[in-house]
């Protein structure tokens, strides 16, 4: 929905990345569907003796979350060794305060000696569109790879995905970990969108250019800040702003998302409960009061080095007047003063998003790593998962 989905999952959970996308869940409302020769009580795989357990992280205790956080830090370190580890508190706050419309099913895997070595989830965002779409992810600790652990987690994911035949599962691969694309191709998934995490050290931002763009002040528009929750009188403007993200490049299976007041309230509640801060800037057309564009940045005091540049969009009929540059520069000027402890601004952009990259590149953003969206049709996923020997 407004911003990019898998990244919202990350943003909600651990990796304080800039972009967020919105969809998710995974309610397995499919008791009618024949499971793939799998029974929940058959937790111990005879072949590997790895044990798969369903978990509900929202109610999990700190001991389990600490094990999971250690795994996630190990996985994150492989992808970005330069990043500091994320504190347990970040994960705990996020999994305990997920928005209600995010429906997740998740599993952990324990090695024979009992240690937590892998995690998988599938998610669906309860909404009026995209109910065929699922987000999923599998992480296996490096020392436990190539032993069929991901295959077995995939079987759980496929089982929980739902009974309908139009389901598409999205995964996000990473170019710094070649196994992720190799695995996804093996299960029958194909690449549908290439994106990069782009970032700029704050010390390298061209403050002169930022100031120049912040002064653009295109005729006929004004800026409005939203610092906390979205006020009722701006709800309609924010919905238009978020829905303009539907014009950004996206994967094949995704339909337009439609934001609602309830969804925005859930985001506000979830963000407040985790202690994250957000600044939302709207460009409003003076004559009509209509939304012309927006940009959004967030900051988690528990990951103080990082500022997350979230969605930015200009409504198509208002493009070509410098509103994008004006919004981004005005936002940067403010948050660099307001959150001075940060050293890095991070965002995520589709490689095909030339207009956004044109702005970001001039501000100093450079690619850090690629995040590649892969999609697999449920039929292909079932075929691969069903072929797993038990």
Ligand X SMILES: CC(C)(COP(=O)(O)OP(=O)(O)OC[C@H]1O[C@@H](n2cnc3c(N)ncnc32)[C@H](O)[C@@H]1OP(=O)(O)O)[C@@H](O)C(=O)NCCC(=O)NCCS
Should residue 298 be labelled a site residue for ligand X when binding is judged by CB under 6 A? no
Among 64, 80, 177, 357, binds ligand X (CB under 6 A): 177
What would you report as the CA-atom Rg of the chain, rounded to the nearest whole angstrom? Answer: 21
Q: Which residue is it, tokens 């937790």? A: 43
**Whole-angstrom distance, CA of residue 171 vs CA of residue 374:** 5
Q: 347: burial class by Cβ within 10 Å (0-12, 13-18, 19+)?
A: buried
Q: How far is the CB of 158 from ligand X (least distance, A)?
A: 13
* Interface size with ligand X, residues (CB under 6 A): 23
In the complex with ligand X, the residue whose CB is nearer, 167 or 281, is 167
Q: What is the dihedral of CA 8, 9, 15, 18, to 10 degrees?
A: -10
Q: How far is the CB of 77 from ligand X (least distance, A)?
A: 11
Among 174, 270, 312, 347, binds ligand X (CB under 6 A): 174
Among 38, 66, 145, 334, binds ligand X (CB under 6 A): 145
Should residue 173 be labelled a site residue for ligand X when binding is judged by CB under 6 A? yes
Among 137, 198, 244, 291, binds ligand X (CB under 6 A): 137
Should residue 151 be labelled a site residue for ligand X when binding is judged by CB under 6 A? yes
Scored b (16 or more CB within 10 A) or e, 257-291 reads: bbbbeebbebbbebbeebebbbbbbbbbbeeeeeb
3-state secondary structure (DSSP) of residue 120: strand
In the complex with ligand X, the residue whose CB is nearer, 178 or 340, is 178
Of 139-147, 216-224, 285-293, 363-371, the window that binds ligand X (rule: CB under 6 A) is: 139-147
Among 42, 58, 143, 186, binds ligand X (CB under 6 A): 186
Should residue 150 be labelled a site residue for ligand X when binding is judged by CB under 6 A? yes
Of 7-15, 148-156, 266-274, 295-303, the window that binds ligand X (rule: CB under 6 A) is: 148-156
**Whole-angstrom distance, CA of residue 194 vs CA of residue 373:** 6
Residues 63-82 that bind ligand X (CB under 6 A): 75
Q: 208: burial class by Cβ within 10 Å (0-12, 13-18, 19+)?
A: exposed
Of 147-155, 202-210, 236-244, 253-261, the window that binds ligand X (rule: CB under 6 A) is: 147-155
Record the tokens describing residue 40, joined without a space. Answer: 């929940």
3-state secondary structure (DSSP) of residue 382: helix
Among 148, 188, 249, 304, binds ligand X (CB under 6 A): 148
Are the CB atoms for 115 and 138 separated by under 8 Å? Answer: no
Should residue 149 be labelled a site residue for ligand X when binding is judged by CB under 6 A? yes
Residue 334's CB is within 10 A of a number of other CB atoms, namely 16
In the complex with ligand X, the residue whose CB is nearer, 173 or 264, is 173
Q: Which parts of this chain interact with ligand X (CB under 6 A)? A: 75, 137-140, 145-151, 171, 173-174, 177-180, 182-184, 186
């Amino acid at each position: 929905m407004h911003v990019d989905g898998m990244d919202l999952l990350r943003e909600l959970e651990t990796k304080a990345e800039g972009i967020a996308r919105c969809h998710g869940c995974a309610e397995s409302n499919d008791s009618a569907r024949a499971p793939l020769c799998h029974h929940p009580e058959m937790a111990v795989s005879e072949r590997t003796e790895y044990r798969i357990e369903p978990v509900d992280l929202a109610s999990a205790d700190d001991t389990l979350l600490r094990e999971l956080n250690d795994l996630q830090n190990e996985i994150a370190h492989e992808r970005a060794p330069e990043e500091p580890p994320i504190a347990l508190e970040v994960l705990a706050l996020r999994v305990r305060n997920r928005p209600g419309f995010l429906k997740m099913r998740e599993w952990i895997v324990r090695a024979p000696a009992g240690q937590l070595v892998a995690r998988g989830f599938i998610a669906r965002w309860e909404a009026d569109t995209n109910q065929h779409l699922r987000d999923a992810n599998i992480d296996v600790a490096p020392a436990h790879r190539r032993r069929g652990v991901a295959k077995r987690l995939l079987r759980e994911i496929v089982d929980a995905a739902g009974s309908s035949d139009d389901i598409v599962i999205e995964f996000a691969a990473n170019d710094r970990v070649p196994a992720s694309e190799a695995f996804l191709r093996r299960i029958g998934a194909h690449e549908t969108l290439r994106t990069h995490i782009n970032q700029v050290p704050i010390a390298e931002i061209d403050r002169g250019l930022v100031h120049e763009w912040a002064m653009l002040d295109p005729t006929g528009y004004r800026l409005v800040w939203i610092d906390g929750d979205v006020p009722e009188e701006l709800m309609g403007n924010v919905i238009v702003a978020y829905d303009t993200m539907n014009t950004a490049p996206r994967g094949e299976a995704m339909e337009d998302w439609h934001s609602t007041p309830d969804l925005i309230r859930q985001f506000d509640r979830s963000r407040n409960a985790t202690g994250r801060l957000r600044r939302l800037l709207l460009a409003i057309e003076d004559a009509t009061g209509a939304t012309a564009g927006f940009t959004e940045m967030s900051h988690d005091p528990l990951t103080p080095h990082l500022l997350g540049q979230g969605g930015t969009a200009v409504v198509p009929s208002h493009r070509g007047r410098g509103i994008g540059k004006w919004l981004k520069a005005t936002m940067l000027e403010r948050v660099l003063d307001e959150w001075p402890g940060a050293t890095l601004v991070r965002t995520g952009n589709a490689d095909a998003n030339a207009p956004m990259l044109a702005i970001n590149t001039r501000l100093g953003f450079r690619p850090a790593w690629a995040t590649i969206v892969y999609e697999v049709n449920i039929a292909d996923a079932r075929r691969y998962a069903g072929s797993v020997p038990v």
